[in-house]
Amino acid sequence: MPIKNGVQLITYADRLGNGALSDLQSLLEHELAGVFTGIHLLPFFYPFDGEDAGFDPIDHTIVDQRLGNWDSIKMLGESFDIMADLIVNHMSAQSVAFKDVLEHGQDSQFWPLFLTKQSVFSDDDDAGIAKVFRPRPTPFFTEYTVANNGTVPFWTTFTANQIDIDVESQPGQHYLTSILDTFADNKVDLIRLDAAGYAIKRAGTNCFMLEETFAFIEQLSQRARDLNMQCLVEIHSHYQTQIEIAKRCDSVYDFALPPLVLHTLFSRDATALAAWLEISPRNCFTVLDTHDGIGIVDVGPSGDKPGLLNATEIDSLVETIHNNSNGQSRLATGAAASNVDLYQINCTFYNALGGDDEAYLLARAIQFFCPGIPQVYYAGLLAAENDMELLARTNVGRDINRPYLDIAAVKEHLQKPVVQGLLKLIELRNNTPAFSGDFSASYQQHRLVLTWLNEDSSAELVIELNSLQAVINVNSATQSQSFAINSLLE
């Protein structure tokens, strides 16, 4: 069944509404009725509140009973396209399988499921180990005492509680198949392959997005298609890598879009954005914000390959975000907060734009007019501010953009003019036939024009970069309208 070409919501089950899947269902049927065509449900597995907010599952095939059960997912799937995460690279150190390994060592049936240093490197291969690409500053080997007899260095690409899986082993293949089967049985339509770029390790390489990784992603995607599901590959990397991945899978994220939109609005220059839209994958999902930070690596250079932005432009982008957020993003990024990623700025997209309502709606309009299926993160939907209280409590940088918003808070945020304006943009994107047609972009004399044509329907976004004034024009057999973006705030 094809995925609907409409705006999707990205949300945690426990952070939007009153903390359960049934509450989320009620919210989507009442306060947000008719707004979204699909939902990316961030990890709802057991436990959803682990060390890495659900991305360290103890059991990937069980819905945490505090949220609901698989029937809750099926019920949502009756009305929405459902996306769920397949956490490819690792599982929790608290899992039954890893605990069995710690107790029985190589006698455990699960020993082949996990990667150790010796699985890939010889003991003296320091040069090879130094080549490994690091997404975080934490060690990628963690010593665990095994069978009360010495220690073993296990691969821990992300945190010491997230033990890397040998996805090429028979137990690894069986593990992934069990998750795919569970998803297929419970009305999951889309699978987001989380951390898939790190799944294959080879000595002498950087262990990230190898040719073998591409092949693995292709094979996993085909297994999902055989079960009537599609795969969305989640990779933060150089833009050329995204283009190559897109050729070999169902869909990818356009992670270059968020920093390029910010750069365009900050510099009032759409040269880089227009150049990207000439070559960007069309089989993509677009975002401005997610449960992670604002990616920078996606537009930067890699080795001798130039980026979509140069070093000076990236430095200016980062500093402008920090200034617009009154330094709050600086407190949540890099060495200032634990569990950090090296390539992301932690900040709400709304605060990255200085809380400017017009700029925020313009950014969303650009997103909705770019090729791909748009996704809106729950905090972005409600134009939420940086949650400095939560950040102070957890010292986890990404929590600045992971607020807990109960029904009362949702209702309050929905009254804000900027949120009402965003809902109107979502309605336009969902109900205009032109967005199922052909896309084109032009940029001349400080004017950026994004256009969609589909038989007798057209939609056009015209932005004057000098003044950041923008107009949307829509024409079809049944409607004709033209309005300025700032009129959505009236």
Catalytic residue among 85, 194, 341, 399: 194
Token pair recorded at residue 408: 């009362």
Q: Which residue blocks in 150-238 are alpha helix, DSSP H?
A: 170-184, 211-226
Token pair recorded at residue 471: 């107009």
C-alpha 183/C-alpha 189 separation (Å) is: 8
Known catalytic residue at 194: yes
235: alpha, beta or left? (left if phi > 0; alpha if psi -120 to 50): beta
Q: Is the dihedral of CA 219, 220, 226, 232 positive or negative?
A: negative
E strand or H helix at 349:
helix 349-352
463, 482 contact by CB (below 8 A): no
Tell me how far the alpha carbon of residue 259 is from its chain's centroid. 14
Q: Is the dihedral of CA 262, 268, 272, 275 positive or negative?
A: positive
Helix, strand, or coil (residue 92): strand
C-alpha 199/C-alpha 88 separation (Å) is: 7
C-alpha angle with apex 20: 251 to 345, nearest 5 degrees?
50
435, 453 contact by CB (below 8 A): no
Catalytic residue among 52, 56, 85, 234: 234
Known catalytic residue at 64: no
The residues annotated with a catalytic role in the active site are 194, 234
